[in-house]
């Protein structure tokens, strides 16, 4: 890639936490003589810097510069400044590394102004249908693009694979997978095919200690993360298909049939510590589920399914044969996604690998930025 033949893209990064910081480092690691990107703005929760004339360079101590800034985030002003840079010969992109609903609501305005949006933030694509439809309309009207590979599977090529299947006219029959790294870790360790094993509560406690769960494990066990990802996949199929599908119109991720693994008496426990302390009360229930699965030579996995032909989108605990890829191929907190399509027939297309982590998530975001070149 050469800057003499590649258009330059002004990039503004919103959110410089784990993923955002890693993205900035990956951006700045691209050799300056070949990079198509000019990093002109950084915004944290409390500060911002913007300088289109002097893009951030490798070794520029950008964290210190941002920390020293006296400018507060002003997204109306940021939008105005970025829109002023857009021209037929100049592309501009915002990268949203937050998980903010408020930032997600800015996407239609950015797109209307010709500013492309790249993000691992699931909120806009799995939230209220009206926002998603405004994003589609704004992108179509201006030609600016929204790219969200890292919303499902971090850096794994899940969204891009699905889009390619749909846009080339393949008939997607079903997409199913283990979409949660947390749930993957828990059930890879809890249910191995044997009738017994570690207590469910102990596996969850270890997962929390290792940082695989949210501070409050109920935020993972409620299944909402998987439901959001399924909403994104279902909407990607529906919006890109050449013909009308049987999939339901999901008003939000709450429309997904989602099985919560939170025992009813623990649903309103306020702290993660208390939740973990009381979870052993329900170990017998989960042990019975494991034993029942083992009796059928099966394992338990928390999976998400987008059944296009059946018109069903659901997330929950399912049993799979001990010879199934969901039982044999997973390790640690890996994700695995199977695409059942007309062209792939009886042998589905499988994407597997690390589905969480700052490095791979940032890689997916950077890959999306390169699609703008």
Q: Catalytic residue positions?
A: 229
Torsion from C-alpha of 60, 155, 313, 217, nearest 10 degrees: -70
**Count of other CB atoms within 10 angstroms of residue 175:** 29
Give Cα separations from 12 to 15, 23, 61, 91, 138 (angstroms): 10, 12, 17, 12, 19
Q: Which two tokens stand for residue 267?
A: 């649903």
Token pair recorded at residue 264: 């009813």
Phi-psi region of 59 (alpha: psi -120 to 50; beta: other; left: phi over 0): left
Task: Quote the CA–CA distance of 304 and 316 in Å, as a whole number.
Answer: 7
Ranges assigned E (strand) in the chain: 9-14, 37-43, 48-50, 91-96, 116-118, 146-147, 172-178, 257-258, 298-307, 312-321, 334-341, 349-354
Within 10 A of 276 (CB to CB), how many other CB atoms are there?
20
Q: CB neighbours (10 Å) of residue 7?
A: 11
What angle (nearest 5°) sits at the alpha carbon of residue 172, between those of residues 166 and 175? 110
Write phi, then psi, for 32 (nearest 5 degrees): -60, -30
Scanning 29-100, the segments in alpha helix (DSSP H) are 62-68, 75-83
Name the CA dihedral angle for 203, 191, 158, 216, rounded to a multiple of 10 degrees: -20
């Amino acid at each position: 890639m050469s800057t003499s033949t590649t258009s330059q893209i002004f990039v503004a990064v919103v959110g410089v936490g784990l993923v955002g910081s890693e993205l900035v480092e990956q951006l700045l690691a691209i050799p300056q003589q070949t990079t198509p990107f000019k990093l002109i703005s950084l915004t944290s929760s409390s500060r911002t810097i913007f300088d289109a004339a002097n893009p951030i360079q490798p070794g520029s101590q950008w964290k210190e510069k941002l920390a020293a800034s006296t400018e507060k985030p002003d997204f109306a002003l940021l939008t105005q400044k970025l829109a002023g840079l857009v021209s037929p010969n100049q592309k501009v992109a915002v990268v949203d590394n937050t998980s903010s609903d408020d930032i997600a609501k800015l996407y239609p305005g950015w797109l209307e102004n010709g500013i492309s949006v790249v993000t691992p933030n699931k909120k806009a694509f799995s939230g209220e249908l009206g926002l998603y439809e405004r994003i589609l309309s704004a992108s179509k009207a201006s030609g600016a693009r929204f790219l969200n590979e890292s919303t499902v599977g971090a850096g794994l090529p899940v969204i891009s694979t699905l889009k390619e299947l749909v846009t080339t006219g393949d008939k997607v029959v079903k997409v199913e997978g283990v979409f949660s790294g947390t749930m993957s870790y828990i059930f890879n360790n809890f249910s191995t095919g044997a009738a017994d094993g570690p207590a469910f509560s102990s596996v969850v406690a270890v997962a929390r200690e290792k940082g695989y769960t949210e501070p409050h494990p109920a935020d993972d066990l409620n299944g909402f993360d998987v439901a959001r990802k399924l909403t994104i996949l279902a909407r990607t199929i529906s919006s890109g298909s050449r013909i009308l599908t049987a999939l339901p119109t999901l008003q939000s991720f709450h429309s997904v049939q989602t099985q919560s693994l939170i025992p009813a008496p623990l649903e309103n426990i306020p702290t993660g510590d208390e939740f973990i302390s009381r979870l052993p009360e329900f170990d017998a229930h989960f042990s019975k589920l494991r034993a029942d699965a083992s009796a059928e030579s099966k394992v338990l996995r928390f999976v998400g399914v987008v059944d296009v032909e059946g018109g069903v989108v659901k997330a929950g605990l399912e049993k799979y044969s001990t010879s199934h890829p969901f039982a044999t191929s997973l390790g640690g907190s890996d994700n695995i996604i199977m695409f059942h399509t007309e062209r792939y027939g009886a042998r589905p297309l499988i994407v597997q690998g690390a589905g969480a982590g700052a490095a791979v998530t940032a890689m997916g975001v950077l890959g999306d930025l390169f699609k703008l070149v």
